[in-house]
């Protein structure tokens, strides 16, 4: 072996390296192949395992989407069991998505994949998916039938309410099955994990075999490398050639710090005239000569010696690194390393581009930090007024949670919309900015003033502000806010209402104190505005009751707790029954019989006022149809309807189907407060449609709202119904009698029937008849009564005029 190496050339020896005698045994040859084969097989098993783990994750995601759509469908039915066309369409969309997710689970796999997953125990899960598809198809068909049938055609047992509850029950079952499917996927996933673990163990074993093989090979390589050590000198020669080619400046100084060797790049970087750098110069001499020929112009002659001395000292430190500004924007980095023989290896690098890029990056970072700080500040500030915004207020409320009582004052500008409409949005912005300045001057430095809405402000008083002090601040805020504001010599007419709440801010619900201040604010508005109200115990009890009623109202529809009450209407001269007004009552299981004033505002906030109108109409039709079927003498029916009902495009069709067998007139009473002058054609179009279908329209509570003669003529009603607040003082207040007489005269001049409600005494009835009123209604004749009392009442009277009167004069 050694004889062969001595006889070969240097280059050949380096390229080929030492050889070894003898051929490897069959076992050595086979070992790597066996290890690699095991590795490939186990990696294939692991790959399949991970692939099916990914597939299991996809099934889990599909199961989550499936459950989510079911939950959304269930919540929709739970919120409104009375399913309308829009609700049914939304439910159908959710169920279509549910079916697609279940169908994907059965049709996604190829036949081989299906067989493999079945072997892992997936057969029950696939069966659940197929059953879910079938059940979803049945439910979609059921919803199609519900949508095709008008609401009025549903009886008691198959009403939209009952069918809605049935759909809700079916959805709950499907949600349970969807949850069970999750556990099936978990079981399959566990089996796949076990398969992956087994494959991983096999991979580890194969790798161990390979490592053993590599270790033996490395030992053989090490032997070869030691044999090649004699070739180091040749490598050094080649290295010297390579030094010249490197892009950085390279130089070696001996132990006396004289230049031994360097490349051309070092000369160019060390001196403005590269030729002046010669072998034998010291580092200090090179630096001194470079200064004299233009390098380092910023260093004065007095400081040059110190600069050279500092550089030489650093040159003595092993591993030191020096950055130099040689000229203008040219930056050189010098790295010093000491060899084992005491030589200094110096590498000079031109880092000008890097320094300039780093400087730009630093400037960019500083600008970014400045922008972030500006954004953070602006994100907590209202852009128009400069006050704190809702986000900053929320942060302050959260930070104050559980740290003692705090006072919150809510300010709302009344009639601010009219300022925008009459004087323009520039005037509105001027008002908001002026009010903001006034709020700041009326509060203390530690008080937080925030704008939280278009014309809404909140003051979070400083810690330690007690109720009496907070009321003083609130009164000062009110006085300052009500001070006149001029815009281009025109006064901006608006008012303000304030609500105050003092309580410890809850950690779990920091915004609760805002809701309390809101409740006090609404009290101020109800009291006539331009006032401050404080959140008190009775107000808190009322809010608690309203929240309870809001929670119970949805269940009231399904439980048929919303019932119609009936009050008769009479001919003003003969006192015979001519009509019946249907009124809403809530037979609450705990609070008893509730008037509409207690639950209609809640229904409106929940968006259920239209549903409530329809429920009362449906119950009244069920009650009164059989009652008057035998006599054939039908009275005129009157129902109160809200604007939510009027803007419902399905309402005219609903009313037509519900009263198609009722031969007497059916009227819908529209509150005078429903304005027709806002430019929206929705309500006028609905009124025209109802009139074309044969329904009569009455304007209710006339004289209490803001309707004009123009809006009355737009409605073209059948009757005007004078508000009870105008009727009650009749006979005692001459002004009230004059107002009633004028209203009756106006109605007659427009060709309208005039109905007076709130007729409490015989004197009321007599004076109204004398003034020419057509119809009277009130406690003098009857109170609102349930169906059984109405039957008893009507048995003692007749409907048609001319018979015995309903009440004695």
The CB-side HSE value for 591 (13 A sphere, CA atoms) comes to 16
Q: b/e per residue, 127-156, with b = 16+ CB within 10 A? A: ebbeebbebbeebeebbeebbeeebbebee
Summarize pLDDT for 748-791 with one digit per residue, the tens.
999 999 999 999 999 999 999 999 999 999 999 999 999 999 99
Tokens of 256: 């006396």
Q: Are strands 753-757 and 719-722 parallel, antiparallel or unpaired?
A: parallel
Contacts of 677 (CB under 8 A, 6+ apart): 708, 710, 711
Using the Cα atoms of residue 776, residue 780, residue 781 and residue 785 in order, give the sign of their dihedral: positive
277 in helix, strand or coil? Answer: coil
With the C-alpha atoms ordered 13, 17, 19, 23, is the resulting torsion angle positive or negative? negative
Of residues 529, 509, 481, 514, the one with CA closest to residue 410: 514
Relative to beta strand 562-571, strand 532-534 is unpaired
Which long-range CB contacts under 8 A does 50-53 form with residues at least 24 apart?
Answer: 50/196, 52/116, 52/117, 52/120, 52/192, 52/195, 53/189, 53/192, 53/193, 53/196
The torsion angles phi and psi of 302, rounded to 5 degrees, stand at: -65, -30
Token look-up 């062969």 returns 4
Coil/strand/helix, residue 149: coil
CA 510, CA 408: separation in Å to the nearest integer? Answer: 12
Cβ neighbours, 10 Å, residue 221: 11
The tokens for 637 are: 């029916």
What SS3 state is found at 460? strand
**How is residue 414 written in tokens?**
């009344």
- C-alpha to C-alpha distance for 475 and 467, rounded to whole angstroms: 12
- Annotate 562-584 with three-state secondary structure: EEEEEEEEEECCCCCEEEEEEEE
Compute CA distances 225 → 18, 218, 229, 230, 517, whole Å.
Answer: 8, 10, 7, 10, 86
Note the pLDDT of residue 236.
65
Residues 596, 639: contact at Cβ < 8 Å? no
Q: Which of 558, 606, 615, 608 is nearest to 585 (CA)?
A: 615
Q: Write out the two tokens for 266.
A: 């070092």
**384 in Cβ contact with 451 (< 8 Å):** yes
Cα 462 from chain centroid (whole Å): 31
Write the DSSP string, 287-332.
HHHHHHTTS-TTS-HHHHHHHHHHHHHHHTSTT-EEEEEEETTEEE
Q: CB within 8 A of 538, min separation 6: which ones?
A: none
pLDDT confidence of residue 70: 82
- Residue 268 sits at the vertex; the CA angle it makes with 263 and 272, to the nearest 5 degrees, is 145
91 bridge partner residues: none
Q: Within the chain, which residues score under 50 in pLDDT?
A: 1-24, 154, 156-157, 677-679, 798-809
Q: Which residue has tokens 């020669």?
A: 237
pLDDT of the residue at 475: 94
Q: Are 32 and 212 in contact (CB under 8 A)?
A: no
What's the confidence (pLDDT) of residue 450? 95
- pLDDT at position 20, please? 41
> How much of the chain exceeds pLDDT 70, in percent?
85
Alpha carbon distance 778, 796 (integer Å): 18
Is residue 326 a contact partner of residue 295, using CB atoms and an 8 Å limit? yes
pTM above 0.85, yes or no: no
CB atoms within 10 A of CB 609: 19
Strand partners, 262: 251
- Determine the pLDDT at residue 12: 32
Angle between helices 651-658 and 682-692 (to 10 degrees): 20
The first and second tokens of residue 434, run together, are 């002026």
**Rounded-to-integer distance, Cα 535 and Cα 544, Å:** 13
Backbone torsion region of residue 528, taken as left when φ is above 0, otherwise alpha when ψ lies between -120 and 50, otherwise beta: left
Instruction: Give the model's pLDDT for residue 345.
Output: 86
Task: Specify the DSSP class assigned to residue 503.
Answer: E
Coil, helix or strand for 163?
helix
What is the tens place of the pLDDT at every residue in 299-352?
777 788 888 887 777 766 665 666 666 666 677 788 888 877 788 888 888 887
Cα–Cα distance measured from residue 684 to residue 690, given in angstroms and rounded to the nearest whole number? 10
């Amino acid at each position: 072996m050694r004889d062969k190496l001595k006889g070969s050339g240097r280059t050949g020896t380096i390229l080929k390296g030492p050889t070894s005698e003898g051929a490897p045994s069959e076992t050595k040859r086979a070992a790597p192949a066996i290890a690699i084969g095991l590795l490939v097989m186990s990696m294939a098993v692991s790959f399949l395992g991970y692939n099916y783990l990914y597939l299991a994750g996809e099934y889990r995601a599909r199961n989550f989407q499936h459950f989510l759509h079911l939950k959304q469908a269930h919540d929709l039915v739970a919120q409104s069991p009375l399913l309308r066309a829009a609700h049914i369409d939304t439910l159908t969309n959710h169920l279509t998505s549910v079916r697609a997710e279940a169908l994907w689970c059965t049709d996604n796999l190829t036949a081989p994949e299906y067989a493999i997953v079945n072997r892992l125990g997936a057969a029950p899960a696939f069966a659940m998916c197929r059953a879910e598809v079938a059940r979803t198809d049945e439910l979609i068909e059921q919803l199609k039938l519900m949508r095709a049938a008008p609401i009025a055609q549903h009886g008691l047992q198959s009403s939209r309410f009952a069918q809605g509850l049935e759909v809700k029950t079916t959805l709950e079952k499907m949600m349970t099955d969807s949850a069970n499917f999750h556990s099936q996927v978990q079981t399959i996933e566990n089996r796949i994990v076990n398969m992956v673990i087994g494959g991983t163990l096999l991979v580890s074993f194969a790798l161990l075999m390979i490592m053993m093989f590599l270790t033996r090979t490395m030992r053989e390589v090490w032997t070869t490398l030691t044999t090649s050590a004699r070739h180091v000198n040749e490598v050094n020669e080649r290295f010297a050639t390579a030094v010249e080619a490197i892009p950085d400046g390279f130089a070696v100084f001996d132990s006396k710090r004289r230049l031994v060797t360097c490349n051309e790049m070092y000369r160019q970087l060390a001196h403005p005239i590269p030729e002046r750098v010669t072998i034998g110069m010291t580092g200090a001499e090179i630096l001194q000569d470079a200064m004299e020929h233009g390098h380092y112009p910023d260093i004065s002659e007095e400081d040059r010696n110190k600069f050279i001395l500092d550089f030489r000292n650093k040159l003595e430190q092993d591993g030191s690194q020096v950055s130099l500004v040689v000229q203008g924007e040219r930056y050189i980095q010098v790295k010093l390393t000491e060899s084992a023989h005491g030589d200094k290896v110096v590498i000079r690098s031109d880092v000008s581009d890097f320094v300039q890029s780093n400087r730009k990056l630093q400037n960019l970072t500083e600008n970014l930090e400045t922008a972030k700080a500006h954004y953070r500040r602006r994100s907590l500030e209202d852009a128009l007024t400069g006050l704190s915004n809702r986000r900053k207020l929320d942060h302050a409320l959260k930070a104050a949670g559980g740290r003692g009582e705090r006072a919150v004052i809510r300010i709302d500008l009344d009639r601010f919309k009219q300022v925008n409409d009459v004087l323009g949005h520039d005037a509105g912005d001027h008002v908001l900015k002026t009010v903001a300045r006034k709020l700041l001057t009326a509060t203390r430095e530690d008080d937080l003033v925030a704008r939280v809405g278009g014309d809404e402000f909140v003051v979070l008083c400083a810690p330690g502000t007690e109720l009496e002090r907070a009321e003083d601040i609130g009164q000062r805020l009110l006085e300052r806010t009500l001070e006149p504001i001029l815009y281009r010599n025109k006064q901006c007419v608006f008012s303000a209402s304030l609500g105050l709440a003092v309580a410890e801010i809850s950690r779990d619900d920091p915004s609760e104190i805002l809701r309390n201040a809101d409740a006090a604010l609404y009290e101020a508005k109800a009291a006539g505005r331009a006032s401050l109200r404080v959140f008190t115990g009775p107000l808190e009890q009322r809010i608690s009751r309203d929240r309870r009623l809001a929670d119970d109202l949805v269940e009231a529809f399904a439980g048929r707790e919303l019932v119609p009450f009936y009050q008769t209407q009479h001919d003003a001269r003969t006192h015979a029954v001519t009509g019946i007004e249907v009124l809403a009552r809530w037979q609450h299981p705990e609070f008893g019989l509730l008037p509409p004033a207690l639950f209609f505002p809640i229904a409106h906030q929940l968006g259920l006022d239209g549903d409530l109108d329809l429920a009362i109409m449906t119950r009244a039709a069920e009650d009164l149809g059989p009652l008057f079927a035998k006599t054939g003498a039908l009275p005129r029916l009157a129902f109160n309807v809200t604007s939510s009902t009027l803007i419902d495009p399905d309402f005219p069709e609903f009313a037509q189907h519900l009263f198609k067998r009722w031969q007497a007139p059916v009227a819908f009473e529209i509150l005078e407060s429903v304005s027709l002058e806002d430019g929206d054609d929705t309500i006028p179009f609905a009124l025209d449609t109802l009139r074309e279908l044969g329904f009569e329209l009455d304007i209710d509570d006339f004289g209490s709202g803001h309707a004009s003669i123009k809006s009355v003529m737009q409605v073209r009603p059948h009757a005007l119904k004078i508000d009870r607040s105008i009727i009650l003082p009749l006979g005692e207040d001459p002004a009230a009698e004059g107002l009633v007489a004028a209203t009756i005269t106006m109605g007659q001049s427009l060709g309208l029937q005039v109905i007076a409600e709130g007729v409490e005494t015989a004197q009321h009835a007599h004076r109204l008849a004398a003034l020419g009123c057509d119809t009277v209604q009130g406690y003098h004749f009857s109170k609102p009564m349930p169906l059984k009392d109405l039957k008893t009442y009507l048995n003692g009277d007749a409907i048609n005029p001319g018979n015995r009167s309903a009440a004695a004069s």
